[in-house]
Chain A
């Protein structure tokens, strides 16, 4: 048995990937040239990492109670976002926090269930959903959801009947997508705010369905639901 230390292909804990090295190099160059300061960079990072899915939840809740807003949202996602205070061009002026060109909301129906992925990298509608969950960026999710969507959804606890068409959206170009789930039973008469609370991140990726008894802002109860 060899006693020499052998590097595996997997990265060691704390080791920088090539992309991380590149990012640091470009960042330090930009700071040294005065394009922005280290403090500017820290503030942008702190801000972008706290953007959560609340914006998307508000969009869906508003669409559920206001058919005219829903029509505007489906017709022009970028413009409709401004009605709930989300401007995709801010603060960089050309799409934030990552580049984008168009935003499309995918409406679930009794016949079609949408789910999003980016097999090439990690495209995600960050201005409305914040940073993507770590599993969304894994090769495991990306390569399997396009090929075995029903099996992958079942791993999230979501089983859809065979008559429902599952439509995977591989976000490979200039569009960003978000799923608009169907309003669940038991929410009749709820306010927009109450509805927004049950439109969780996973329901807008398409790996879960909203439920009147679940909001991700409260810890889950013990045992099977």
Chain B
């Protein structure tokens, strides 16, 4: 069961980089929208240690407006997509109650 659906606005958590994550620093704390689903896969924190039987989690394509990633970005329509797994996502902060 997936926690997020296509169209949901999500914020990437400001987690520690102690372990291998593949979650880019430039996305941390930034808000985007779920653009598509990717199948569940072993999370990088486990895969990095060769644990192919490690914890599996759903992945998502998250689409960011470039102006939400880079304060100085000028063009309004440009976007960036990348794939993030569930533990690094939370409901968008501006919509949380």
CA distance A165 to B64 in the complex (A): 12
Please indicate the chain B residues that have their CB under 8 angstroms from the CB of A175 in the complex: 38, 83
Please indicate the chain B residues that have their CB under 8 angstroms from the CB of A120 in the complex: 22, 24
By Cβ-Cβ distance, the 5 closest A-B pairs, closest first, are: A173-B83, A170-B82, A165-B77, A168-B80, A166-B78
- Among B63, B69, B78, B85, which residue has the most Cβ atoms of chain A within 10 A? B78
16 contacts between A and B (CB under 8 A): A102-B38, A119-B26, A147-B70, A162-B77, A165-B78, A167-B78, A168-B81, A169-B82, A170-B80, A172-B23, A172-B82, A172-B83, A173-B59, A173-B85, A174-B41, A175-B83
Please indicate the chain A residues that have their CB under 8 angstroms from the CB of B94 in the complex: none
Please indicate the chain A residues that have their CB under 8 angstroms from the CB of B80 in the complex: 146, 167-170
Binding site for B on A (CB under 8 A): 101-102, 119-120, 146-147, 149-150, 162-175
Binding site for A on B (CB under 8 A): 22-24, 26, 38-39, 41, 59, 63, 66, 69-70, 73, 75, 77-85
Please indicate the chain B residues that have their CB under 8 angstroms from the CB of A162 in the complex: 75, 77
Residue of A nearest to B80 (CB): A168
